Structure 1
Amino acid sequence: MAAGLNLQPQTVNGRLTLDLSNQGLTSIPEEVFDITDLEVLDVSKNILTSIPETIGRLQKLYRLEAHANMLTSLPQAIVTLQKLTHLYVYRNKLANLPHGIEKLQKLTELSIFDNQLTEVPPGVYLLPNLEVLDVSNNKLSTFPPGVEKLQKLRELYIHDNQLTEVPSGVCSLPNLEKLSVGPNPIRRLPNDVTRLTGIKSLSVPDCQFDEFPRQVLQLKTLEKLYAGGCKFDKVPDKVGNLQHLWLLSLSNNLLRTLPSTMSHLHNLRQVYLWKNKFDTFPEVLCELPVMEKLDISNNNITRLPTALHRADKLKDLDVSVNPLTYPPQDVCEQGTGAIMAFLKQEAEKEVLQAFNRLSVRVKQTQWKPLARSLGLSNTEMSAIKVFAPDDVPDQVYQTLVQWSEKEGEAATLSALEQHLRDLDFQQLADQLSPTHWVG
């Protein structure tokens, strides 16, 4: 059996390690269990149906990786491995865990997802040092009480089961940073989920919520929110309170609009909105200064706003499966860079067009107070005047230069229109309205 196998352990990261992964093994060579100083054993990605009880001889074992095999049970001797801190037995055919699992008092990570478990043994809750527990993709319909005892737990994954509610006690875990509860047929989150004051990642996709889970809006430390496939049609205004959010997934819902308060999410880098009900592009996305990735594919959007070009960190834009007519199809087919360049060029045309229309209708004296109100100094006015064409009042150019150098909201045409109204230039503002010029 051992023929052709290298059974000589190596020191990796200061630990005596034997890597027998991906070798087509149907059993573990008995010689392995003679290496009593072994600290890490990796027999993952084989065809093992069992692990012999002789594994109990490896009393120095710190980490056991036996995932992606055909295991239907684990040896009882595993619970004697008192130094074991990491146990990875996911992607097998396990229906239960060994009796006495609570004896593994040093265990910090237990990964048993993608198996056939119908219950979590209560002994798991007696592991005082457990930090990561992954029981996702099993056949769990209930959780026995006691999860609140895992006071050191940082990550809990219970998605892809048959749970109808978040287990009692989860909201009493003071160190929880990652919680994944969907997909599951869960209709609502418990109100006391707001007690998770250090949570950074919450995953609730494909749950059966009637509306956006409002309790989430109080989780001020949240950095990643996955809420796709929940079938809600509105995002509350208070989503703008999640100031640390850098990933937001709202894909496969029924959204037609987004709240303007999303512009407050200055750290948002990744946004996933594919397969919703958007007829028009949500303009608030143009106000996200650090957005790098946007997937708004599979909607009913016909036009991208030129203002999107201001999201200059956007490197990955997916607008496929939309009936887009603007930008033209040949531009869209060239990818994100071409789309953004096109929108920027079009935005510059809009600015010049708008100001040229204004210049025809405005008395020269009206532009002086407007230019000064925008902060243009006399020196700047004089310098720019040299370059102003004879057929356009130089004050138009003075205003244009100052305004176009502004960033964020100050650079939008609507912001300029409002500025004109504030100065009581109502007729000028009317001329800037999209109904008065072609853009």
Structure 2
Amino acid sequence: MMYEQQQQQQVRSKRQMERRRMNRIDQVEDYNENNSSDKQQLEVVDLSGMSLDTLPNPPLNLAIISKLDLSNNNLQSIPESLTARLLNVVMLDVHSNQLKFLPNSIGCLSKLKVLNVSGNLLHSFPRTIENCRSLEELNANFNQLSQLPDTIGFELVNLKKLAVNSNKLVFLPSSTSHLTNLRVLDARLNCLHSLPDDLENLINLEVLNVSQNFQYLSTIPYSVGLLISLVELDVSYNKITALPESIGCLKKLQKLSVEGNPLISPPIDVVDRGVDAVKEYLCNKINGTQKTSPKKKSWFGKLTKCGTFNGGSLPADGGEGYIMPSYRPIDGMASPRYMGMFSPRRLFSPKSYFSR
């Protein structure tokens, strides 16, 4: 009886999903038929979570769509003809599908500001994505990206958020340092071996996360300490042994995560005291004022201090010590007369053996 009820529930769920899909498609068609004025815009077309394997092809003027949500389906590709006609789309969400590539016609989306392609099977981006010069947010988390377009930073000049975590990136292109409007860079859970050297150009960057690149990332460039707007820095779970001293200059830095690294500088006791202590330690290293452990004083120094090897008169307080009245040549000192004077018994005796 219980099994039959479960089957009936599954059938009802499938029917409801199918009715939902058809209703949405009908709404799109009705809107197209009843609103022929170019002044009116279709704000959102939502076809998410409908188990679509392919996209429907209604007689819709795609140019009136500003937001298109195709997320949480089973799409393996997006037709070139579809994206080529989305001339006014501002947001395109295709996350959680089975996409292995994006159409080259995505470069036609000159007004696109938000692109979410996370949770797919993408290995790379088409070079035409560089034509999306209005793009402000690119979310490509949880894919199989091994590289980003070399010139991405030269073209996507309005990009404010670049999220590429949980991929297979070995490096970030050097052009990344030209994304001067970038505020968030999330590249954790990759295979990064290094970061671009001239990151100081990212003058608006507030959040930098390159954590969990594990055995690959062993150094952080000095330029990280020149990111004048940086508020959060996460370099945890890498192979970093020393933080660049320039991090001590990050006045706006409020959150620093460095756990999971074999850090030597700063030492763990400094890290445990928090971000301000780390900044102070690194800043002192830059200024050359970092305190080091005091050296042990030798017995010779102690003897000198108490006057044992000082030439001249006896101490003012009346204490006794060895006084060398004048220089004597080594030949004379080596004679039998003077050999006995270096005996420890005589050396530390309060008597004077060198009076004239």
**TM-score where L is the length of structure 1:** 0.55
Matched to 1:249, the amino acid is: D
Residue matched to 2:72: 137
SS of corresponding position for 1:194:
helix
Unaligned stretches of 5+ in structure 2?
A: 1-11, 33-40, 293-356
Matched to 2:17, the amino acid is: T
Residue matched to 2:211: 274
CA drift at 1:195: 1.7
- 2 CA distance for matches of 1:76 and 1:165? 25
Structure whose CA Rg is larger:
2
- 2 CA distance for matches of 1:124 and 1:278? 51
SS of corresponding position for 1:231:
coil
Matched to 1:220, the amino acid is: V
CA drift at 1:162: 0.7
Residue matched to 1:249: 186
Corresponding position: 1:156 with 2:92: yes
Corresponding position: 1:202 with 2:141: no
Matched to 1:323, the amino acid is: P
Moved more, 259-268 or 229-238: 229-238
Residue matched to 1:211: 147
1:220-235 paired onto structure 2 within 5 Å: 220-235=157-172
CA contact (8 A) 1:125 1:147 kept: no
Moved more, 156-165 or 213-222: 213-222
Give me the identity figure in percent. 26
**Higher relative contact order (CA closer than 8 Å, sequence separation 6+):** 2
Structure 2 CA distance for partners of 1:128 and 1:307, relative to 1, 3 Å: closer
CA contact (8 A) 1:113 1:135 kept: yes
Q: Count the aligned residue pairs.
A: 268
Residue matched to 1:341: 280
SS of corresponding position for 2:281:
helix
Residue matched to 2:53: 118
CA contact (8 A) 1:220 1:241 kept: yes
- 1 CA distance for matches of 2:268 and 2:262? 9
Residue matched to 2:44: 109
CA drift at 1:222: 1.7
Structure 2 CA distance for partners of 1:295 and 1:102, relative to 1, 3 Å: farther
Corresponding position: 1:182 with 2:118: yes
Structure 2 CA distance for partners of 1:236 and 1:292, relative to 1, 3 Å: same
CA drift at 1:279: 1.6
Matched to 2:30, the amino acid is: K
Give per-residue Cα distances to partners, 1:372-417, cap 9 Å, x unaligned.
xxxxxxxxxxxxxxxxxxxxxxxxxxxxxxxxxxxxxxxxxxxxxx
The equivalent position to 2:267 in structure 1, one of 307, 325, 328, is: 328
- 2 CA distance for matches of 1:117 and 1:77? 12
Residue matched to 2:17: 72
Give per-residue Cα distances to partners, 1:24-72, cap 9 Å, x unaligned.
xxxxxxxxxxxxxxxxxxxxxxxxx78xxxxxxxxxxxxxxxxxxx952
CA contact (8 A) 1:258 1:284 kept: no
Residue matched to 1:400: none
1:29-428 paired onto structure 2 within 5 Å: 72-74=17-19, 78=23, 97-99=24-26, 101-105=28-32, 106-123=41-58, 126-144=61-79, 145-217=81-153, 218-276=155-213, 277-350=216-289
- 1 CA distance for matches of 2:291 and 2:274? 27
Give per-residue Cα distances to partners, 1:249-300, cap 9 Å, x unaligned.
2212222222222221111111110112222333221111111111111101
Give per-residue Cα distances to partners, 1:207-239, cap 9 Å, x unaligned.
333433224232222221122233222223222
- 1 CA distance for matches of 2:251 and 2:103? 43
Matched to 1:221, the amino acid is: N
Matched to 2:245, the amino acid is: T
SS of corresponding position for 1:340:
helix
Residue matched to 1:385: none
SS of corresponding position for 1:164:
coil
- 2 CA distance for matches of 1:294 and 1:234? 18
CA drift at 1:191: 2.1
CA drift at 1:161: 1.0
Moved more, 319-328 or 132-141: 319-328
- 2 CA distance for matches of 1:297 and 1:124? 51
CA contact (8 A) 1:125 1:149 kept: no
- 1 CA distance for matches of 2:210 and 2:21? 48
Structure 2 CA distance for partners of 1:115 and 1:333, relative to 1, 3 Å: farther
- 1 CA distance for matches of 2:217 and 2:131? 34
CA contact (8 A) 2:87 2:111 kept: yes
Structure 2 CA distance for partners of 1:258 and 1:77, relative to 1, 3 Å: closer
Structure 2 CA distance for partners of 1:134 and 1:303, relative to 1, 3 Å: same
CA drift at 1:314: 0.8
CA contact (8 A) 1:125 1:150 kept: no
Matched to 1:153, the amino acid is: V
Matched to 1:240, the amino acid is: S
